[in-house]
Chains A and B, each alone.
Chain A
């Protein structure tokens, strides 16, 4: 099964990195985590149950509903994979574009 590649909004990427740092019980700044960092590797220690808890918290924190095919044919190995998965559930953030991208 293929899944569409969607651009990852910055707030999603930041929320995911905050979450993986907390889940791995690290004290580093979230922006020190590379997009390609494995979720279960040398730096991050995210178990499958930890990932499950993160998915639920990300739904709540970002007020999104992850897709129904969340668990079919997907492999989530890296921070970028997780961010892309969450981004696929996010509506376009028109409000953010207006407040940060346009003239006052």
Chain B
């Protein structure tokens, strides 16, 4: 949920805090590989959507392949039975010095989420000492179950393995989020502890966009129609969290542009307006979802909430294009060759 949609704008930040949990962990991992991981993340951000059977949506938040570490290695999914995970993670830490593991919020001691609401949550592990693991979680947000603050500390093996064990309550929306967390489509095996490890691999060819909506305004139109259909059954409400993540990402992109890119005064106003419009959207959708759940659907409110965002994004495209951050007819995801690697 957007932290301050009605209460006012948040402070500008381009740290990892403010991103979704997936991207915050990836951003920290990439800081070992790239000079400007924040810029790499910010330039990658856009929203692509694919409609799937069963009233499902898949979201890709990055037009650049975030798995590409730029030195001939890529982040690749790894998995193992619970009994083998500890040894495999220790080996990965010895090899790469860090690893992203998929935890689940309901089993994280620092998360307010309940077991019933448990969702996949990326964590960075970068130290191991006998029976304990140093875990970094930059994610911070006000959640329906309470406020989650960033965490960095030792976690024992039992707790880490419990967090990595997928609960049976996960739905298709959770699997889709994990599959597209890096922008490109991946196929993590469901039902097993997962982690992302660096492995030698050729760059992925740019993924085509067959079936994907990648043009920003078309995406917003599709989403406005989709969420106008929020109903008491709540099947579409599960994707409100994906829009929350998109809003976090787009807000982050706008903040990066305002902080780090030389913009004209007019461009600054355009970017600030887009940031404000994105900030307002999640709260509106949550309200619409809650209203629909108690039998008071609000399709006009959904339309009214997307309209200013569409106008803001329309204006923003000009700014993004001028700075090389957008091009029409984008593919789903491809590599970003101009990145500088860290020494």
Chain A residues close to B by CB (< 8 Å): 1, 39-40, 46-49, 51-52, 55-56, 59-60, 65, 68-77
Contacts and interface: CB of A to CB of B under 8 A. Distances in A.
A71 B6 contact: yes
Interface residues of B, number: 30
B7 interface: yes
B71 to A, nearest CB: 41
A21 B281 CA distance: 27
B287 interface: yes
A68 B301 contact: yes
A72 B280 contact: yes
B92 interface: no
11 contacts: A1-B308, A40-B7, A48-B6, A48-B7, A52-B286, A68-B298, A68-B301, A70-B284, A72-B308, A77-B7, A77-B8
Contacts of B142: 47-49
A73 B6 CA distance: 9
A70 B301 CA distance: 8
A39 to B, nearest CB: 7
Nearest to A53: B290
B305 A71 contact: yes
A41 B316 CA distance: 34
Interface of B: 1-8, 142-144, 147, 280-281, 283-284, 286-287, 290-291, 294, 296, 298, 300-301, 303-305, 307-308
A72 B7 contact: no
Contacts, number: 73
Q: Is the interface of A mostly helix, strand, loop or mixed?
A: loop
A71 B1 contact: no
B298 to A, nearest CB: 7
B125 to A, nearest CB: 30
Contacts of A52: 1, 283, 286-287, 290
A76 B6 contact: yes
Contact of A71 (B143, B144, B284, B300): B284
Contact of B280 (A39, A56, A71): A71
Contact of A39 (B7, B147, B290, B294): B7
A71 B283 contact: yes
Given A40-B7, A48-B1, A72-B307, A56 B290 contact: yes
B6 A49 contact: no
